[in-house]
Amino acid sequence: MSSSDGPSAADQQLIDHAMRHGLTVTAKQLAIWRRAGLLLANVHGGGLGRGKGSTSSPPPESFDLVLALARRAGRGKRPADLALLLFADGLPVPEPTVRAAFRAAVNAIAIPGHYDGSGASQDLDQHLDNLADRLAETGQTVTLVPARARRIDERIAAALGEPPEELVKLDWNAGPPQLTPQAAALSAVSTTLGGSVSLQEIGDLVRAMNPTMAAHPIASLIETTQRDVPDAASRIFADDGSLTVIPDGDLRDLLRDLAETAPLEDLAVGWRTAMEVRAWALDLCERVESELDAGQLAEAALEWLCGRHLMSGLSVIETLRDRRWSPSKGALSALTLLFLCDRLAVIDGLVPDCQWHVLEMPGVLPPPVRKLIMGKATS
């Protein structure tokens, strides 16, 4: 610790270490970082004898952390964000601080009406009824298709013209209700707090997120899965069509549990995958826009079209929604991906003959997510 006489000998080692790397660190900064859990306390050694006090030294990992903190820390930088960024860089941030930062990312999920998910089912139903009225009054919605994605969809549709009749015929469940932005907002809250989502709701969402498409064969396939494969479906779907592999209750609790119990290595892999997905999505947008500008639709446009109804397309939409990305959003994406892997493992146990090779098909998953899932499946 520092004193009125200046920094301790141990802190002076860290200050000198930073100075040798062209960085300025003060004893006050070291104290602030320790209070935030970003830096461990100095390790006390043996006594000096004859009332001369005791010795202390910085933990070995503190030297690299001090350099990283000196480079990244600054006015307005939240400790939780710093913890996530340093952890992502492979630096030895104290484990309790890392897990607290991931939990904080889940806690940042805003639920209108401040419902905490702790009430009985009728309380949740009442909350959702009140929320529906509030959304209708205020006009609050979610952005189903961000402007950039909508422009790309419209340009591709104009270039290709009407879809083939064969494709239109594959949408054999035509005429389901369209999901409005207000209804999508309500459905998102309901799923988060209740933990259940039906196949019809998923199909409605797919259709609503592809408003320029004249046919939605993938949405139709989703909506009729329970009818077409009843034996397998009975293991993972309830009678009302909801997924039984997603436990009832507040999904945020499940993500918090992952933040608390997942190995740090898994959290790091989840974070890295989330960043790779974001980079892939933005790159795909740029590539398909370049093809449209050149008047020649090629590989990027095909990749876009293959994914617009599937998980890879949803990842693009989610990336474009997050115009102001933050480390907290990266942590939430990482936990969501780990949750997806966990649920797929549950499904694999219930339906071991599932056709997992489908995940290898173009557009089904973003390439980084496919790599993550396959790596988990073979580990």
Query: pLDDT category, 47, cuts 50, 70, 90?
Result: very low
Q: Which of 83, 92, 76 is nearest to 33 (CA)?
A: 83
Predicted confidence at residue 359, as pLDDT, reads 74
- 345 occurs within a structural domain: yes
- 113 occurs within a structural domain: no
Residues 245 and 255 in one domain: no
- 84 occurs within a structural domain: yes
Query: pLDDT category, 184, cuts 50, 70, 90?
Result: low
Most confident stretch, 5-9, 52-56, 109-113, 330-334: 330-334
User: Is residue 273 within 8 Å of 340, Cβ to Cβ?
Assistant: no
Q: Which helix (H) or strand (E) holds 140?
A: none
Residues 257 and 328 in one domain: yes
Residues 6+ apart with CB under 8 A from 84: 98, 101, 102, 105, 271, 327, 328, 330, 331
Residues 191 and 219 in one domain: yes
Q: Annotate 81-93 with b (16+ C-beta within 10 A) or e (fewer).
A: bbbbbbbbeebbb
207-227: pLDDT as tens digits:
777 776 666 776 776 666 656
Predicted confidence at residue 44, as pLDDT, reads 79
SS3 273: helix
Residues 172 and 231 in one domain: yes
- 46 occurs within a structural domain: yes
319-339: pLDDT as tens digits:
998 878 899 999 999 999 999
Residues 286 and 375 in one domain: yes
Range of the domain at 28: 9-107
Q: pTM here?
A: 0.79
Predicted confidence at residue 49, as pLDDT, reads 43
List, in sequence order, every residue forming a beta bridge with 198; answer none if it has no partner: 242
Residues 243 and 257 in one domain: no
Residues 27 and 126 in one domain: no
Sign of the CA dihedral with 22 first, then 27, 29, and 31 last? positive
Structure tokens at 237: 């779907």
Q: Domains in the chain: how many in total?
A: 3
User: Is residue 225 within 8 Å of 354, Cβ to Cβ?
Assistant: no
- 258 occurs within a structural domain: yes
Answer yes or no: is pLDDT of 258 > 80: yes
- Residue 54 half-sphere exposure, CB side, CA atoms within 13 Å? 9
Predicted confidence at residue 163, as pLDDT, reads 67
Predicted confidence at residue 48, as pLDDT, reads 45
What percent of the chain lies above the pLDDT cut of 70?
66
Q: How many CB atoms lie within 10 A of CB 26?
A: 13
Residues 140 and 30 in one domain: no
- 150 occurs within a structural domain: no
User: Is residue 103 within 8 Å of 256, Cβ to Cβ?
Assistant: yes
- 176 occurs within a structural domain: yes
Q: What is the mean pLDDT of the chain?
A: 79
81-102: pLDDT as tens digits:
999 999 999 999 999 999 999 9
- 4 occurs within a structural domain: no
At which of 217, 249, 281 does a domain end? 249
Answer yes or no: is pLDDT of 52 > 70: no
